[in-house]
Structure 1
Amino acid sequence: MSSDSSPPSPGPEENADTENPKKIPAREYGPWELRQVLLARTNELQALLDDRWRTHGKDRNDLLDKAKDELNSARSVLSHAHKRKRAASHIAVGQIHVDTAHNLLLRLSGPEEIASMMPGVLASVREALPAEDPRRVAVERISRSPAKITDSERESLLDAVSVARHVRIQKTLRVRSFVNIVRWVAGGLAVGVVLVAVLGWFFDDTVPLCFSPDRVSGAEEYHVVCPTRSSPDAKAKRVDASLATTTAPADYLAVEFIGLVAAGIAAATTIRRIGGTAEPYNVPFALALLKLPMGALTAVLGLLLMRGGFVPGLTALDSSAQIISWAIIFGYAQQIFTRLVDTQARNVLAGASGSATPTRPPPPKPSNQAD
């Protein structure tokens, strides 16, 4: 702060969205509501800093300048003009700057002001730190008499708040890492789905998804059934010749599409159990992206296993409708392989939701016994 005659004012970054409306892109990165919450929080902290400056903060201009810089950095990161907004990371970075500004506000506050903010501080520390953590124990002890806080207790309080907010950011970054891993795996599976469809289109008779029920019964002439069509008459003397005339380039494509639709139904069911999330990273959407290509591949692989006799008694499918029905079953069955991913997603969201850890019960008071 350059002078002592005026309170700190918002930087030019605060109005970055409104001064250049033509530069605002049409796409919003991350939840728009979370972005507005953080911007509103910066305005609230700015007003509180102005109040601290007018009351007893004129001798701590260095801290006021740092807090002002943090708020301006938060506004700059959250503005549409900022370039690093991929995967909603700008919301997490903006939260870091806002938390730092709030820590500086606590350092500028007196005992009475800290006492009024103590419930929120205590809840934040209990949310992030375990009951046996010494910093949480110290904060709980300070909260019993916040009006008599000393300088050393203030430092303990600030250290606990900083660690608690660091833990919260770590949980958010853990959600981001999980979402990125799921998306990369889903992208790799999607590439595999495309390659299988292309190879099946150009080399449809190499590994056909067709069945010959007459071959199981030992007939001399064979009838071939494929996903999209079947041989009209059982006139072929050799299975290979009948396959060559019956297979179609669209066989693999049809099976993959059916498996993808079945996986989409399974994904909808899973999302219903997981529910929504307030994190800037969309975990349910990433899980749905993983299940769709997985369902397309499991439908193809399941039919190949049946054709190879891996499932006894299920090698003589005699109609295209039966092949499509099994493709639906195998596409939905991808849930068997992605169930562990769903469980991990629920664990990650539960850890990031900030469930408060149990509070240590106070020691029992000794009873007064009569002499």
Structure 2
Amino acid sequence: MSQGIDRAPGAGRLREWRRERGSWVLCEEVRADVHELGALLAARRDHGEMSARDAQLLHGAEEALDRAENAVDEVAHRRCLSGSHVTTAQLHLNSGRSLWMRTLSPAELQSYLPAMFATVKQHLPPSDENRVFVEHVARDTREAQEAGRPLRLTDGQRVTLVAAVDAARQAALREKLRAESFVRIVQWITVSLCGLVVLIGALTAFWPSAVPLCFTPSPSPGARGDFGVVCPTNAAASVPAGELTARTREVAGWGDYIVVEFVGLVAAGIAAASALRKIRGTSTAFGIPVALAALKLPTGALTAVLGLLLMRGAFIPGLSALDSTAQIIAWAVVLGYSQELFTKFVDRQGQVVLDSVRDPVHTSLPPPEPAARRGTAAPTATSTDGPAPPPQ
């Protein structure tokens, strides 16, 4: 059965669409990191003899890479690759990278210190103890290099540096999870609102007289009736007051709500297009701007309907009786566009979430602090030509 489906016309496009609709870019990022770290592990094994401890750490790192690659395997997980798959892969990948770094000697780890500092500075706040430790080690290392004296890290500093980088990677993973979760929440709300729009249109098409979207303005001068009946798709003039309710049910058409929803949706689409001028763009793999733009469409359809119902109920003084079908459509346009009053708060939150996902940046080491301003608890690196001078 599955083979027949795979040979069907368009099956390849369908598989590609399923892959793209999942977290495909994030999965490819994981695969690239797995490939890079796998090459580093192989080079570490071929570097020469190693202790039993380092061999065990490398074996654990290789197992972590296998689990990370299996987590993003679309064959092993045929359902849509959700954020949980990517999260699992990132956790195993971080574990493998941490185990590999623990096999490096202090001299080898020292060459990675600028990159480690960039990672810690990018994802940890300035008050974090891990970042403070890494900054002090980076300053001591640069001071030693500028002074032209050899310097090496202690085993304790190496362990703390690896732990600090692990904390930074965990913070980066939480940033991505927050963005992925926000997108999925917005998408589910959009789907729910779209379903509500379709449900309202279907119910009112079957029962157009249940809640008619009609107004009863006073007739123009010279008309014989007391009122008129104006609906989005039909109208009647000179209706006696005693027949107003019955005549309203007759004039109400099955397409009244559908027309208003469509007009509100179009107005919301124009609002979404005009909102593109505020989008700065992003190099991350999260479709937050697209999800926010899609949310405006069903919201505009619903605000157009609900706004007209509020006007029909005399909630807005002076706008309780529209005079023509054209006025109803015009107000549907205004009310559909006015969804910006509600979605602008979601837009702000989306921009905040998007800004929190920080891309890799090139950073430099912080300037060295004067010795007199350092605290006694600041970690210092150990020099090979003698003990470090005590802090003053």
TM superposition score normalised by structure 2: 0.78
Q: Distance in 1 between matches of 2:162 and 2:213?
A: 66
The superposition leaves residues 292-343 of structure 1 with CA deviations (integer Å, 9 ceiling, x where unpaired) of 2211111001111111222222233222222111111111111111111111
Separation of aligned partners in 2, 1:85 and 1:201:
35
Q: Which residue of 2 aligns with 1:188?
A: 192
Which consecutive residues of structure 1, in runs of 5 or more, have no partner in the other structure? 1-21, 367-371
Return the letter of the residue paired with 2:156: S
**How many Å separate the matches in 2 of 1:85 and 1:39?**
17
Cα separation, partners in 2 of 1:56 and 1:306, compared to 1, 3 Å: same
Structure 2 alignment gaps of length 5 or more: 1-11, 143-150, 373-392
Aligned to 2:43: 51
> Is the 1:228–1:248 Cα contact (8 Å) retained in structure 2?
yes
Report the Cα distance in structure 2 between the residues aligned to 1:45 and 1:216, rounded to whole angstroms. Answer: 81
Distance 1:265 1:56, change over 3 A: farther
Q: Is 1:167 the equivalent of 2:163? A: no
Contact 1:216 1:316 in 2 (8 A): no
Amino acid at match of 1:172: K
Residue 70 in structure 1 maps to residue 64 in structure 2:
yes
Q: Residue in 1 aligned with 2:137?
A: 142
Q: Distance in 2 between matches of 1:335 and 1:137?
A: 43
- Aligned residue identity for 2:327: Q
Pick the aligned partner of 2:369 from 358, 363, 371.
363
Matched, 1:25 2:15: yes
- Point out the more displaced range, 249-258 or 109-118: 109-118
Distance 1:206 1:25, change over 3 A: closer
- Is residue 286 of structure 1 aligned with residue 291 of structure 2? yes
Question: Does the C-alpha gap of structure 1 residues 31 and 192 become closer, same or farther in structure 2, counting only changes over 3 Å?
Answer: closer
For 1:131, what is the secondary structure of its paired residue? coil
Report how far residue 274 of structure 1 moved: 3.5
Q: Return the alpha-carbon distance in structure 1 between the equivalents of residues 49 and 282 of structure 2.
A: 39
What is the alpha-carbon distance in structure 1 between the residues aligned to residue 281 and residue 188 of structure 2?
22
Identity of aligned residues (%): 41
Query: Which residue identity does 1:320 align to in structure 2?
Result: T
Of stretches 272-281 and 335-344 in structure 1, the one that deviates more from structure 2 is 272-281
Distance 1:358 1:190 in 2: 49
1:355 Cα deviation after fit: 8.7
TM-score by length of 1: 0.82
Does structure 2 conserve the Cα–Cα contact (< 8 Å) formed by 1:30 and 1:280? no
Corresponding letter in the other structure for 1:38: V
Q: CA separation of 1:211/1:91 partners in 2, compared to 1, >3 Å: closer, same or farther?
A: same
The Cα shift of 1:227 comes to 0.8
2:38 and 2:334 map into 1 onto residues whose CA distance is 58
Deviations for 1:17-72, whole angstroms, at most 9, x for unmatched residues? xxxxx9x9332144544433332222221111111112246322111111111111
Equivalent residues, number: 344
CA distance in 2, matches of 1:70, 1:145: 32
Change (3 A) 1:40 1:187: closer
Compared with structure 1, are the counterparts of its residues 124 and 248 closer, same or farther at alpha carbon in structure 2 (3 Å cutoff)? Answer: same
Is the alpha carbon distance of 1:57 and 1:37 closer, same or farther for their aligned partners in structure 2, counting shifts above 3 Å? farther
